[in-house]
Amino acid sequence: MNKNLSGLILILFYLGVIKSKLFYIEVKYPLLNASSNQTKVIELPLWPAPKFIKDTSKGLLVLSQNSFKMTTNLPQSCDIMEENIKLYTNIFFLPKFELNPIISDTDVALNELSFEISDQFCPGYPNTSIDETYELSVKPGVSIIKANSVWGALRGLETFSQLTFINEDNKLSIKDSIEIKDSPRFSYRGILLDTARHYIPVPIIKKQLDAMSYNKFNVFHWHIVDDQSFAFESFKYPNLTQKGKYGDAHVYTQKDVKEIIDHARLRGIRVIPEFDSPGHVESFGRTFPQFITVCWVGGKPYQAIYSVHGKAEILNPTLEGIYPVLKEVLSEYKEVFQDEYIHLGMDEVYYDCWKSNPNISEWMAERNMTDYHQLEAYYSSKILQIAKDLNKKVTVWQDVYDNGVRPEKTTQIQIWKDEAIGFSKWSDYLNDITSNGYPVILSSPWYINFVSYGFQEWYKHYLVEPMANFTGDAEQAKLLRGGEACLWSEYVDGANIEARLWPRACPIAERLWSPSDINDPEEAKFRLDEQRCRLLRRGIPASPILNGYCGDYEYGMKKSVVFEPEFNYDWLKSENKVPNTNESLKLKLNRSLFLILIFIYHF
């Protein structure tokens, strides 16, 4: 090995915990900057990139599981900090890593990471106004994370963890002088998971929440029910679950939901459930068929015209009996889901079925309604009023707005349409909706269920600049609250969700967190590849994005941690660890005999 090469490998080594190496696709198609040792815009392998980095390091610090501790200035114990100290202790020192815990005479130790949290408060559930700002100072002895709130401390801890790596002595290390100041560009950074087209088991959802926190996402938009299934356990209307679920194993019990919300809370992630109506209610309609609009064709009811409408598909807003039921359903959501927001869907309400129904025509005529927008507005006002009565803030898909409905200005509008799928440009919608004073969540360019092939598929998600064609002023700009990567699950379930979601959601995480000028994919790809290796090292089987390799811990290798109990929940733990029945029987017999013998012996 020549000297340059060894030097180069050492540099590579210092760049992160991940000993990944990147290769070109073909000799005649190299990547620009063909391996990760090139000069980079962002020298440290952090994802998403922080706002400000100053690296004046001259050496390394060593962290040992025997001495390293994390401390806080909180006056009393706080479950969020305690849980994260436990989580990150695994990330740092998982037994399977078999790190060298010895701090030798020549090592400089980092023995403490101290959290200085200004508000000294252990919060409940994260909300829209959480403060995620933090400052991180890495230096010998005690490193410090300063934050206004526990939430900022968590973000700082994630950044700190990404700075650590395993050095050539197999010790956990970190560069010895780094200052980082960081805060998110957008306050709303979400991922939508759809558990209606396919059920995603609870342990898998929890793992996705872990991966979200590694990428500083802070909203889990839970598209929990839809036409295909109603997996939410309803106590108020048990039939909704009974008739709406796929199989018995395909239900989110209220206990499950609470567990997921708690799991998300500990990671600074809000859980916003969606109850989509008046469309997308087939599974709901299995319990309440009387509320579904019957579609007519040629004077006959229950007629489908594929692909215009089915036989009976959307709610019939003219039936007053529906609203008390919806109020019950939403109030049950309110009992279970803690977030101040609920998502009410309202996308893809196609009018043809409503138009075909004579009862609806009659009802509208009686009220001098001539336009079906009025009917949708009628429905919207009713359900928005229900949410308001329940003291819930609301997000809706943009269709409501597009159809001329103008809900209250607190209503958040989620943009999903785009010229790519036959509508206008998303930037036009963004300009229009914010000019009318509505807060907006952007999703159109980030429908990551649309998988495609090619040289760096993720570039297109990464290169989105939400404000590129923005025409409003600074005040109007503030109405763009953030964005959301949507993983609709027509072709996704537990078996492939991780390969689809990671690292494909990561570019969106950086776009939503990092300053807008961190936008060069040719630079970002090396950090992203390292982030994907990092995810592997935390048990997330993320897909590769470049040729090359991560290390001896890849999926399928003995050192893989993808199935370590520390990085999993329930399903692997409980079943794979059950002792062999014969063994446990022997154990019991052994113990019984033992007690009998003691008994005999004593007499």
From 306, 366, 370, 517, residue interacting with its own copies (rule: CB under 8 A): 306
Of the residues 192, 204, 487, 518, which one makes contact with its own copies according to CB under 8 A: 204
Nearer Cβ to its own copies (53/572): 572
Q: Is 593 in the site for its own copies (CB under 8 A)?
A: yes
Interacting residues with its own copies between 310 and 339 (CB under 8 A) = 310, 313
Q: Which one of the spans 52-60, 267-275, 304-312, 357-365 is the region binding its own copies (CB under 8 A)?
A: 304-312
**Residue 193 to residue 269: CA distance in whole angstroms:** 14
Query: φ, ψ for residue 460 (rounded to 5)?
Result: -65, -30
Based on C-alpha coordinates, what's the Rg of the chain? 27
Nearer to its own copies, 115 or 199 (CB): 199
Phi, psi angle pair for 53, to nearest 5°: -130, 135
77, 260 Cβ separation under 8 angstroms: no
Residue number with CB closer to its own copies (180 or 546): 546
Helix (H) or strand (E) holding 442: strand 440-442
- H/E run at residue 292: strand 292-294
- Smallest gap from residue 186 Cβ to its own copies (A): 27
CB 187 within 8 A of CB 547: no
What distance lies between CA 169 and its chain's CA centroid? Answer: 35
Give the 3-state DSSP-derived string for 493-515, with helices as H, strands as E and coil as C: CCCCHHHHHCCCCHHHHHHHHCC
How far apart are CB 576 and its own copies at their closest, in Å? 6
Check if 179 is active-site. no
Instruction: Determine which residue in the list 124, 453, 474, 582 makes contact with its own copies, applying CB under 8 A.
Output: 453
Q: Strand, helix or coil at 351? A: helix
- Complex with its own copies: residue 24 or 363, whichever CB lies closer: 24
Q: 17, 18, 19, 440: which one contacts its own copies (CB under 8 A)?
A: 19
Sites for its own copies among residues 97-156 (CB under 8 A):
none
Nearer to its own copies, 344 or 535 (CB): 535
Among 30, 59, 324, 437, binds its own copies (CB under 8 A): 30
- Asked whether the beta carbons of 63 and 172 are under 8 A apart, the reply is yes
Segment near its own copies (CB under 8 A); pick from 7-15, 192-200, 355-363, 511-519 = 192-200
Nearer to its own copies, 188 or 214 (CB): 214
Interaction of residue 67 with its own copies, rule CB under 8 A: no
Options 85, 93, 144, 203; binder of its own copies; rule CB under 8 A: 203
Comparing CB distances to its own copies, the nearer of 162 and 489 is: 489
Classify 187 as helix, strand or coil: coil
Closest to its own copies by CB, 112 vs 554, is 554
Interface pattern 481-510 for its own copies (x via CB under 8 A): ---------xxxxxxx-xxx----------
Minimum Å gap between C-beta 258 and its own copies is 19
Q: Say how far apart CA 439 and CA 188 lie, in whole Å.
A: 11
The encoded tokens of residue 565 equal 């109990």
Q: Closest Cα partner for 275 from 382, 196, 205, 209? A: 196
Q: How far is CA 342 from CA 78, 178, 223, 354, in A?
A: 27, 41, 11, 26
Query: If we measure between CA atoms, which residue out of 362, 384, 285, 280 comes closest to residue 318?
Result: 362
- CB 164 within 8 Å of CB 172: yes
- Cα 521 from Cα 33, distance rounded (Å): 11
- What is the rounded distance in angstroms from the CA atom of residue 428 to the CA atom of residue 418? 9
Residue 272 tokens read as 């916003």
Decide if residue 23 touches its own copies (CB under 8 A).
yes
**Number of residues located near its own copies, criterion CB under 8 A:** 90
Q: Assess contact for 43 and 53: CB atoms under 8 A.
A: yes
d(CA 64, CA 480) in angstroms, rounded, equals: 44
In the complex, minimum distance from the CB of residue 405 to its own copies, in angstroms, rounded to a whole number: 21
Residue in 348, 362, 408, 583 annotated catalytic: 348
Task: Choose the stretch contacting its own copies; rule: CB under 8 A; options: 102-110, 268-276, 306-314, 381-389.
Answer: 306-314
Residue 334's identity, in one-letter code, is K
Binding residue for its own copies, selected from 198, 223, 263, 525, defined by CB under 8 A: 198
Single residue of 4, 26, 76, 129 touching its own copies by CB under 8 A: 26
Q: Least distance from C-beta 507 to its own copies, angstroms?
A: 15
Spatial contact of 354 and 291, defined as CB atoms under 8 Å apart: no
Q: Which is nearer to its own copies, 105 or 248 (CB)?
A: 248
Provide the minimum distance between the beta carbon of 562 and its own copies in the complex, in angstroms, as a whole number. Answer: 8
Applying CB under 8 A, the span of 8-16, 108-116, 227-235, 478-486 interacting with its own copies comes to 227-235
Element spanning 313, H or E: strand 312-315
**Binding residue for its own copies (CB under 8 A) from 40, 96, 382, 406?**
96
**By CB under 8 A, residue 297 contacts its own copies:** no
Site residues for its own copies, 539-578, by CB under 8 A, read 541-545, 547-549, 551-552, 554-560, 562-563, 570-572, 574-577
- Residue 91 three-state SS: helix
* Residue among 467 and 578 whose Cβ is closer to its own copies: 578
> Cα(275)–Cα(259) distance, rounded to whole angstroms?
20
Q: Are 564 and 539 in contact (CB under 8 A)?
A: yes
Among positions 229, 318, 380, 444, the unique one binding its own copies when judged by CB under 8 A? 229
Catalytic residues, by residue number, are 348
